[in-house]
Chains A and B, each alone.
Chain A
Amino acid sequence: MLTYALRRILGMIPTLVLISVVCFTVIQLQPGSFIDQYLDDPRVTKETVASITRQLGLDQPLWVQYLTWIRGIVTEGDFGYSFVNGRPVSSLIWERLGWTVFLALLTLVVSWVIAVPLGIYTAINRYGPSATIMNFLGYISLATPDFLVALLLIALVLNAGGTNVGGLFSPDFIDAPWSWARVRDLLGHLWIPMIAIGLEGVAGLMRQMRASMLDVINQDYIRTARSKGVTPQRVLWRHAVRNAINPLISLAGMSLPSLISGTIIASIVLNLPTIGPFLYDSLLNKDQYVAMTLLLFSALLLLIGNLLADLALAWADPRIRYE
């Protein structure tokens, strides 16, 4: 198992190098340049534009820019410099990582806690009216984009005379020290992004769980267990659910990169201080080292997520062995 994991981790390195080359190329193919915004200002002369280009190293050939960036990462753990903010990329990402991870994990947990039981329920009571209603709602929430749900919720809150319309805190609590009042304020705001971002995930997971359960409950070993007189409760939880949950573990692994890019539009609409809008801006401004670092980070998360999912599968399913 350990050698397997090590092998996988070593295999990530060439993959990441390849991904970084692709990201760099794609960003360079995008029209325009970071310098464009300076042209918009009558204050800026051609000489100033030239000196900024030189300051940022944008006058160097592309391969030199790329190699300098990679060398920085390998030798000093330096992910480059944000043109826009004039600060190292890594410190900027750290600043925004906290709330991003918090929101992503919370959404993940909440959507699992809701979706898995619903999926099981709708699979077992396949033809019941309540399952049909749930399935119908599931389809609708799958089909509705998260930012639209966010906008609808905001409109709803506004019409009800509420003030929690976006952000994670009321203005007074944004930079206040932690207190019970601040936690209460956070909870008052948190439910909107939870619903908006989580709804789609819930619906998808629920469908997946349901399909997977339906597969499993027709298997021979379930019938055997039943005929041997095992209690229905035990058949369900011990045999069926445990086997049906495997595909969801792979899904969970793949959902890690959504930390960065999954909720860009919802984050903008709901004004959440996450990394998504930061990536969006860096792409628009051609702030190349920020964009590349985030894309690379996202790829790394996907690789790690897959690895973790595989390891979890091996742990959950005795039939899987990696030796």
Chain B
Amino acid sequence: MLKRSTLALLSLALLGGALAAPKKVSGYNALGIVNGKTGGSYTLTLGDSPQSLFYYGVIDNNLGLISQQMFDGLVEFNLATYKIEPALAESWTISPDGRTYTFKLRQGVKWSDGQAFDADDVVFTYKNIIMNPEARAGDVGNFRLDGKNVEIAKVDASTVRFTLPRAAPAFLLQQRYFIMPRHKLLKFSQEGGAKAADINGAWPTNVNETEVVGTGPFKLATYTAGQKVTLTRNPNYWKVDAAGKKLPYLDRLEFLVIRDPQAQVAQFLAGNLDQLNITGAQFPDLKQKEVAGAPFKVMRSTALFGSPPFVAYNFDAKDPALAKVFSDVRFRRAMQGAVNRERIIETVYNGLASLPGHGVAPANKAFYTNTTKQLGSFNLSAVNEALDAIGLSRKNAAGIRLLPNGRPLEFDLTYGTDSSVYPPIATILQSDFAKVGVKVNLKGILSSRLLSTGQSGDWEMILHAFGDQPDPELRRPIWQPGGSLYYWHRSTQPAKDGDPAIVSRMAKWERDIYNIFNDAATTTSASQRKALYTRWQLIFAQNLPVTPIAKPENIGAISNKYGNYVYNLGVIPGYNPVPLIFQK
């Protein structure tokens, strides 16, 4: 008798724990968030059919967009401040030496099929998927520091511990990886006896909908190839609003597959889509319709994430005379004066962009250092003088400057043709460079080939864009000399990933940046890291490994039927305002 009542008490206590679990989402008054009402559906668009339903099996933006609504990570962003907040992990501790991270998991969280979520799921996801080198969209590189592996272990059913070979202050920020259900994926994993590469074949697009199970606000309902993906509310979601009401507010989330951007706008205008992210080029037309009384709003917001375009000169260009000129910081600094940023922002972006930072978005309060002065101003006569001063004063009959070897200063500018911004920017650069005696030949390729062309080294000047992130550490392969994406100076890259960069081939300022990134990666003091990255931005602005052009704004259009809209760039794990959106 006594035994039974203890059992009852125990299960009551467990139940109590389960009820106490939800995360309260509050404090977003500044973003205009109010308490909403439950119900309704919300229609968005995908640029193409998702290629799979398993997030770590393919790198696919469309899959990312729906995965973001079906899965969560241990931590997430605060929607207003971009600070890290608890998600599936309720709390965590970091050891004083910065090497041990212990995550306490949220109690009572259930997968969308009702199974309990626990530490086994987390360990499974990290070990078999994220740290699996055969998983096509895993991230094994982030779990090897100085050639040693990060260890992950289950402490108890609701505690997980990571042990790092050295301190890594950005580690917490990275743990926004979507956690996957062990009970559904075990059979595709090494732990379940399959081959390491088999995990990529989990959840193909013809999988039974009930197999795709997550902890996110929504779960998969139907998938119609080439046409539509429908998600429905996950009744087990672990967030509540400020008033304690269960989130998400919406019953259904629909994604229409529409490939053509013009067709997307047409569907939005016809009322078949409720929200659409648009470009600066599409802004005037939609804004005009809004002002004329159309039932939607067009909202601009400054962007933290997103890709600011830049131009880079190939320090290792095949023509040694060109390589020498491009490696000369005086040349790059001089040519910056021929980059007409104001005009590009006005005509290409319709004014919906601002001056860029150097590797850090100006909206990034935690790390941005104001380097606007170093951007200089558009001044062709100053450019002419500066080029004369570095020994490029001789010109041929056509007015093109001559290199020291007597050949004209003429090179290709590689850019993406299938973009609304690259071609006009390339033309503006070409025409202004011509005015200072530098002949540029436009070489258009598909935008999707820009990076592989960059990394192949077969180019002279390139117009490309890389994304800004909240913490520079997350973009280290791009900005640290010798990093795998530092392709404008490929001779500094090691032959094998993970080996140290070839420091002897770096210029003095590149060595400085190299050291800054190494130091900042292990410094645990936040203020010291900020100081290091401030120095990096100043060196960047002075020496221009690449010349940033503009930081485009984010523009979204939203139907008036909905409340609590917060701009959402797309696939940013851990940044998901959709659960708060409600139908009025």
User: Is the CB–CB distance between B270 and A273 below 8 Å?
Assistant: no
Bound together, the chains give a CA A42 to CA B525 distance in angstroms of 25
**Count of chain B residues near A, Cβ 8 A:** 58
The yes or no answer to B51 lying at the interface (CB within 8 A) is: yes
The yes or no answer to B370 lying at the interface (CB within 8 A) is: no
How many A-B residue pairs lie within 8 Å, measured between CB atoms? 152
B window 209-232: CB within 8 A of A = 222, 224-228, 230
The yes or no answer to A175 lying at the interface (CB within 8 A) is: yes
User: Is the CB–CB distance between B475 and A42 below 8 Å?
Assistant: yes
Q: A272 to chain B: closest CB distance in Å?
A: 9
User: Is the CB–CB distance between B133 and A47 below 8 Å?
Assistant: yes
User: Which of the residues A46, A47, A162, A175 comes within 8 Å of B270, measured between beta carbons?
Assistant: A162
Note all chain B residues with C-beta closer than 8 A to A151: 262
Closest partner residue, chain B, to A48 (CB atom): B133
Bound together, the chains give a CA A48 to CA B134 distance in angstroms of 6
A window 151-197: CB within 8 A of B = 151, 154-155, 157-158, 162-171, 174-175
The yes or no answer to A201 lying at the interface (CB within 8 A) is: no
Q: Most chain-A Cβ atoms within 10 A of its Cβ — which of B222, B225, B475?
A: B225
User: Is the CB–CB distance between A43 and B139 below 8 Å?
Assistant: yes
User: Is the CB–CB distance between B206 and A165 below 8 Å?
Assistant: no
Given contacts A38-B136, A86-B204, contact A269 B270 (CB under 8 A): no
The yes or no answer to A76 lying at the interface (CB within 8 A) is: no
B window 381-408: CB within 8 A of A = none
Q: Of B251-259, B436-444, B536-544, which binds chain A?
A: B251-259
The yes or no answer to A284 lying at the interface (CB within 8 A) is: yes
User: Is the CB–CB distance between B51 and A85 below 8 Å?
Assistant: yes
Bound together, the chains give a CA A261 to CA B206 distance in angstroms of 25
Q: Of B150-158, B360-368, B448-456, B558-566, which binds chain A?
A: B448-456
The yes or no answer to B319 lying at the interface (CB within 8 A) is: no
Note all chain A residues with C-beta closer than 8 A to B259: 268, 271, 277
User: Is the CB–CB distance between B496 and A46 below 8 Å?
Assistant: yes
Q: B267 to chain A: closest CB distance in Å?
A: 6
Note all chain A residues with C-beta closer than 8 A to B226: 95-96, 273, 277-278
Note all chain A residues with C-beta closer than 8 A to B138: 43, 48
The yes or no answer to B107 lying at the interface (CB within 8 A) is: no
Note all chain A residues with C-beta closer than 8 A to B57: 86
User: Which of the residues A46, A52, A169, A277 comes within 8 Å of B497, measured between beta carbons?
Assistant: A46
> Which 7 residue pairs across A and B have the least CB separation, nearest first?
A273-B226, A45-B141, A46-B497, A36-B452, A163-B270, A174-B228, A165-B266
Q: Could you name 18 residue pairs across A and B whose Cβ atoms are closer than 8 Å?
A: A38-B136, A42-B474, A42-B478, A46-B497, A47-B140, A47-B497, A48-B141, A51-B133, A85-B58, A87-B205, A158-B270, A167-B256, A167-B267, A168-B227, A169-B227, A175-B222, A271-B258, A273-B225
Knowing that A37-B448, A175-B224, A273-B225 touch, tell me 20 more A-B residue pairs with CB under 8 angstroms.
Answer: A36-B449, A39-B451, A42-B474, A43-B138, A44-B141, A45-B140, A45-B484, A46-B496, A52-B136, A55-B136, A85-B52, A85-B58, A95-B226, A158-B266, A158-B269, A158-B270, A167-B227, A167-B258, A171-B43, A273-B226
